Chains A and B, each alone.
Chain A
Amino acid sequence: MNGTRRRRSHLAAAAAVGSLALVLTACSGGDDEGGGGDATSDVDCTAFEQYGDLEGKTISVYTSIVEPESVQQTDSYIPFEECTGAEIEYEGSREFEAQLPVRLQAGNPPDIAYIPQPGFLASIVADYPDAVVAAPQAVIDNANEYYTEGWVNYGTVDGTLYATPLGANVKSFVWYSPAAFEENGYEIPTTWDDLLALTDQIKEDYPDSKPWCAGIESGDATGWPATDWLEDVMLRTAGADVYDQWVTHEIPFNDPQVLAALETVGGILKNPDYVNGGLGDVQSIATVAWNEAGNPIPDQMCFLHRAANFYQANWDPSLTVAEDGDVYAFYLPGQSADDKPLLGGGEFVTAFADRPEVQAFQAYLSSPEWANAKAEATGQGWLSANSGLDPDLLQSPIDQLSFELLTDDSYTFRFDGSDQMPGAVGADAFWKQMTAWIGEDQSDQETLDNIEAAWPAS
Chain B
Amino acid sequence: MDWFIHAETVGHKFALMLVAILLFVGVMGAILFGIDKLKKVPTWAVVAAFLGPTLLFVVFGLVYPGLNTIKASLYDAKGNEFVGLDNYVTAFTQDQFQTVLRNTLLWVVLVPLVATLIGLVYAVLVDRTRFESMAKTLIFLPMAISLVGASIIWRFVYEFRPDQGNIQQIGLANQILVWLGLDPYQFLLNQPWNTLFLIAVMIWIQAGFAMTVLSAAIKAIPDDITEAARLDGLHGIGMFRFITVPSIRPALVVVLTTIAMGTLKVFDIVRTMTGGNFNTSVVAYEFYTQSFRAQNAGLGAALAVILFVLVIPIIVYNVRQLRLSEEIR
Contacts and interface: CB of A to CB of B under 8 A. Distances in A.
Q: How large is the interface on A (under 10, 10 to 19, 20 to 34, 35 or more residues)?
A: 35 or more
A101 B188 contact: no
Q: Among A422, A423, A436, which residue has the most Cβ atoms of chain B within 10 A?
A: A423
Contacts of A428: 289, 293-294
B162 A279 contact: yes
Interface string A212-246: 00000111111100000000000000000000000
B326 interface: no
B277 interface: yes
B276 interface: yes
Contact of A456 (B77, B188, B272, B289): B77
Nearest to B270: A220
A284 B185 CA distance: 11
A419 to B, nearest CB: 13
A97 B293 contact: yes
A431 B2 CA distance: 47
Contacts, number: 91
Contact of B293 (A98, A281, A301): A98
Contacts of B292: 97-98, 101-102
Contacts of A222: 274-275, 277
Given A220-B271, A283-B186, A423-B293, A432 B276 contact: yes
B77 A286 contact: no
A35 interface: no
A301 B165 CA distance: 9
A89 interface: no
B278 interface: yes
B272 A219 contact: yes
Q: How large is the interface on B (under 10, 10 to 19, 20 to 34, 35 or more residues)?
A: 20 to 34
A427 B189 contact: no
Given A278-B162, A428-B289, A428-B293, A283 B189 contact: yes
A423 B295 contact: yes
Interface string A255-284: 000000000000000000000001111011
B165 A439 contact: no
B294 A423 contact: yes
Contact of B189 (A208, A287, A423): A287
A456 B294 CA distance: 10
A313 interface: no
A435 interface: yes
Interface string A433-458: 00110011000000000100000100
Interface string B170-207: 00000000000000001011010000000000000000
B223 interface: no
Contact of A440 (B160, B165, B276, B278): B278
B43 interface: no
Interface string B147-181: 00000000000001110110100000000000000
A396 interface: no
A28 interface: no
A23 B6 CA distance: 12
Given A424-B296, A428-B294, A280 B160 contact: yes
Contact of A427 (B186, B191, B277, B293): B293
Nearest to A450: B95
B8 interface: yes
B323 interface: no
A38 B325 CA distance: 74
Contacts of A287: 160, 186, 188-189
A455 to B, nearest CB: 11
Nearest to A436: B277
Contacts of A127: 78, 295
Interface string B266-299: 0000011011111100000000010011111000
A280 B186 CA distance: 10
B277 A280 contact: no
Interface in A87-133: 97-98, 101-102, 123, 127
A279 B4 CA distance: 55
Interface in A67-100: 97-98
A424 B77 CA distance: 10
A301 B161 CA distance: 13
A40 interface: no
A192 to B, nearest CB: 28
Nearest to B272: A219
A19 interface: yes
B278 A439 contact: yes
A284 B275 contact: no
A200 B192 CA distance: 36
A222 to B, nearest CB: 4
B162 A281 contact: yes
A22 interface: yes
B277 A439 contact: yes
B42 to A, nearest CB: 41
Given A208-B165, A284-B186, A450-B95, A22 B2 contact: yes
Given A278-B162, A435-B277, A456-B77, A424 B189 contact: no
B100 to A, nearest CB: 12
B293 A220 contact: yes
A114 B188 CA distance: 34
Contacts of A223: 275, 277
B162 A101 contact: no
A220 B294 CA distance: 12
Contacts of B162: 278-281, 284
Interface string A407-423: 00000000000000011
Contacts of B95: 450
Q: Among A22, A102, A217, A281, which residue has the most Cβ atoms of chain B within 10 A?
A: A217
Given A436-B278, A440-B279, 14 more contacts: A22-B2, A101-B292, A219-B271, A220-B289, A280-B162, A287-B160, A423-B293, A423-B295, A423-B296, A428-B293, A431-B275, A435-B275, A436-B277, A439-B278
7 tightest Cβ-Cβ pairs between the two chains A and B: A98-B292, A222-B275, A280-B162, A424-B294, A428-B294, A423-B295, A220-B275
23 contacts: A23-B2, A101-B295, A127-B295, A220-B272, A220-B275, A220-B289, A221-B275, A222-B274, A223-B275, A280-B164, A280-B186, A281-B162, A284-B162, A287-B188, A301-B165, A422-B295, A423-B293, A423-B294, A428-B294, A431-B275, A435-B278, A439-B278, A450-B95
Interface of A: 19, 22-23, 97-98, 101-102, 123, 127, 208, 217-223, 278-281, 283-284, 286-287, 301, 422-424, 427-429, 431-432, 435-436, 439-440, 450, 456
Interface of B: 2, 8, 77-78, 95, 160-162, 164-165, 167, 186, 188-189, 191, 271-272, 274-279, 289, 292-296
